[in-house]
Amino acid sequence: MINWQQFGLRSNPYDTLPLIEGGELPIHKAFVGRTVELQSLKDIFLSDSRACLTILGNVGVGKTSLANFHKFLFKYEEKKKPLFSFRREIEASKNLLNKKSFLTEVIGSTLREIRLLDPDLIKKEELLQKLEKLVDITQSLDISAGISIAGFGGEFGKTGTTEYPPSISNTMLENYFSNLVEFIKTHEIAGKKFGGLIVHINNFDIVLSDSKEKKGVIGFFQEIRDILQTRDVYYLFLGPKHFFRDIISVEKRLKSVFHLSPLVVNPLSKLEIIKAFEERMELLKSPDVVKYIAPFSNEAIFSLYDLYEGDARSIMNGLKDILSQVPETVLEPLGVDEAMLLLGKERWEVIKKSELTKEQEELLIFLATSSNYVTQKDLAIQLKKAPSNISGYYFNPLRDAGVIEVKKQEGKLKYWGLTQDYLPIKFILKAKKTIQQKTKENMQQLSLFSKGVENR
Ligand SMILES: Nc1ncnc2c1ncn2[C@@H]1O[C@H](COP(=O)(O)OP(=O)(O)O)[C@@H](O)[C@H]1O
Ligand SMILES: [Mg+2]
């Protein structure tokens, strides 16, 4: 448990949830940077009466937060063409990837948002009530189908998840969806007029991490191609960098519906990350505190930035892991060496929990102290052992535990190194030396200081 109050903070500033409308951190204050990306989103949305756009980038760079902030701006601050949107994130899961589930989720999420902002409107409007019923029916069917799969009673329908009563057809759902969009354009919601709807589908990373799902995802987009072209509806699909190439541009007819190129999200700069953290700490400052105490020096944050190549989520997880290792009160922000040493220590303790054999520990220390990648032969020489037994005892178990991996291969020769998560154990030895040196210097200064006092 980390005591955040000692820093003058109410709670954890390194929370890794995406920024979202209505979240713990107010999105319009906590969001930093991305002016270029926001401008191009704005240009696209203002110049067309519909749009279909992919927002792509590595995990943890800030795709979801960007989409959420863009939605926020168009919902509350855009003057020319405000667009309605729901804050809830629809995750691209296997179950979502058919027209029926997709439309049900989109209609359901939109209704829920209307209910949050303007509950009286639902009471007043028959269409909205009818839509709520419809979503209710399809969702309870889904849930009961789920139960029959789990092995409880066959009376809920024997054929699995896709059994809907014939009365709720795709055509009907499509019509209801158009009605809903029309409703949004012609009615005030919470006293405000909107020109259309933004639909945001999050995280194609997860479905696509299983390469068998690729075909299904392509099929899904072909199936919803017509609803993607609904006037005044703006779609954002978030995913990994290869999403556009592998899914959207596979077929011309589909590609033509989408914006020409994906919006690629790159990591925030080092200074933007610092600014984001400062902003968060300011927002989370305890009421009676004049100035919070930053737990980390900028240099320490920069070295985590380098380690995780700007992935904000990993950086924050790393910072949290480091603080969980700090023994006592921190008076000064942690410097690079202290931070990296603690991160290395934390990772080392995680590894230790998996009960290393003596051999595995030897290999790890060898990897942690050598400046190059290591081959089996290198290790055999180091340990004076026959190379033949080494892979089974030494390398494979650590590879399976995600601690080491093959970094490059030349013919049959494999070069091993620590995975990114465990790279910090390399810092243990180096940082320890630097800190010992620094402590020595500090001691000298301290003794000079006290001599000065004595001599007075
Ligand atoms: N522009 C930004 N300003 C401040 N914090 C951000 C920004 N973008 C991302 N973050 C933070 O970084 C972390 C990862 O962002 P997220 O949007 O979830 O990334 P992704 O969707 O690409 O995985 C979250 O904790 C989020 O709050
Ligand atoms: Mg995300």
Q: The domain spanning residue 146 has which CATH number?
A: 3.40.50.300
pLDDT at 139: 73
CB 157 within 8 A of CB 86: no
Kindly report the backbone phi and psi dihedral angles of residue 109, in degrees, each rounded to the nearest multiple of 5, phi listed first.
Answer: -65, -35
Integer Cα distance of 363 and 382 in angstroms: 9
Domain presence at residue 373 = yes
- The verdict on the CB of residue 254 being under 6 Å from ligand 1 is no
Clarify whether residues 221 and 366 are in a common domain.
no
Give domain status of residue 390, yes or no: yes
How far, in Å, is the centroid of ligand 1 from the Cα of 32? 10
Domain stops at, among 217, 240, 264: 264
pLDDT tens series, the chain, 456 aa: 788 998 999 999 999 999 999 999 999 999 999 999 999 999 999 999 999 999 999 999 999 999 999 999 999 999 999 999 999 889 998 889 999 889 999 999 999 999 999 999 999 999 999 999 888 877 766 666 555 545 544 444 444 555 555 557 888 899 999 999 999 999 999 999 999 999 999 989 999 988 888 999 999 999 999 999 999 999 999 999 999 999 999 999 999 999 989 999 999 999 999 999 999 999 999 999 999 999 999 999 999 999 889 999 999 999 998 888 886 666 678 888 888 888 888 888 888 787 778 878 888 888 888 888 888 888 888 878 777 777 777 888 888 888 899 999 998 888 999 988 888 888 877 777 777 777 777 777 777 766 666 665
In a mutational test of the pocket of ligand 1, which residue from 65, 204, 281 has the highest number of ligand atoms less than 8 Å from its CB? 65
Tell me the two tokens of residue 139: 């969702």
Indicate the residue among 264, 297, 316 that finishes a domain. 264
For the chain, the domain total comes to 2
Which of 191, 170, 26 lies closest to 114 in space, CA to CA?
Answer: 191
Q: Which of 229, 264, 299 is the last residue of a domain?
A: 264
Q: Take atom 16 of ligand 1 and give the residue whose Cα is closest.
A: 62
Question: If DSSP codes are grouped into helix, strand and coil, which group holds residue 421?
Answer: coil
Q: Return the ligand 1 atom nearest residue 57 CA.
A: 22
Buried b (16+ CB within 10 A) or exposed e, 365-394: ebbbeeeebbbbebbbeeeebeeeebeeeb
Place of tokens 């070069």: 415
Let me know if 107 is exposed, middle or buried by CB neighbors in 10 A (0-12, 13-18, 19+).
buried
| Amino acid at position 249, single letter | S
Q: Which pLDDT score is estimated for 155?
A: 47
Strand-strand pairing, 413-418 and 90-91: unpaired
| CATH assignment of the domain containing 408 | 1.10.10.10
Co-location of 111 and 235 in the same domain? yes
Nearest ligand to the CA atom of 26? 1
Q: In terms of domains, do 215 and 77 share one?
A: yes
Residue 224 included in any domain: yes
If DSSP codes are grouped into helix, strand and coil, which group holds residue 237?
Answer: strand
Half-sphere exposure of 21 (CA within 13 A, CB side): 19
Give me the domain span that covers residue 74: 34-264
Per-residue confidence (pLDDT) for residue 430, from 0 to 100: 73
- For 198-213, b/e burial (b = at least 16 CB within 10 A) is bbbbbbbbbbbeeeeb
230 within some domain: yes
According to the model, what pLDDT value does residue 31 have?
97
Residue pair 38/70 in contact (Cβ under 8 Å)? The answer is: yes
Taken in order 296, 302, 308, 311, is the CA torsion positive or negative? positive
Nearest to 62 by CA among 293, 263, 283: 263
Q: Does the beta carbon of 23 lie inside 6 Å of ligand 1?
A: no
Pocket mutation for ligand 1, best pick of 36, 281, 313 (most atoms within 8 Å of C-beta):
313
Cα→Cα distances 368→323, 341, 372, 374, 389, Å: 22, 13, 10, 10, 21
Q: List, in sequence order, the alpha helices (H) in 224-269.
A: 243-246, 252-255
Q: Provide the whole-model pTM.
A: 0.84
The two beta strands, 84-85 and 233-239, are unpaired
Instruction: Assess whether the C-beta atom of 62 lies below 6 angstroms from ligand 1.
Output: yes
Claim to verify: residue 376 and residue 250 sit in the same structural domain: no
Q: 55 - beta bridge partners?
A: 238, 263
Considering the domain boundaries, does residue 193 fall inside one?
A: yes
* Alpha-carbon span 107 to 104, nearest angstrom: 5
Identify whether residues 98 and 247 lie together within a single domain. Answer: yes
**Ligand 1 proximity of 16 Cβ (cutoff 6 Å):** yes
- Tell how far the Cα of 312 is from the centroid of ligand 1, in angstroms: 6
Nearest to 360 by CA among 422, 424, 420: 422
Q: Are residues 253 and 380 in the same domain?
A: no
- Distance (angstroms) between ligand 2 centre and the Cα of 31 equals 15
Residue 448 lies in a domain: yes
Indicate whether residue 65 lines ligand 1 (CB < 6 A).
yes
- Is 138 among the domain residues? yes
The reply to whether 306 falls in a domain is: no
Q: Whose CA is nearest to atom 10 of ligand 1?
A: 62
CA pair distance 405, 283, nearest whole angstrom: 40
Q: Does ligand 1 come within 6 angstroms of the Cβ of 61?
A: yes
Ligand 1 pocket check for 31: Cβ under 6 Å: yes
| Ligand 1 center to 197 CA (angstroms) | 23
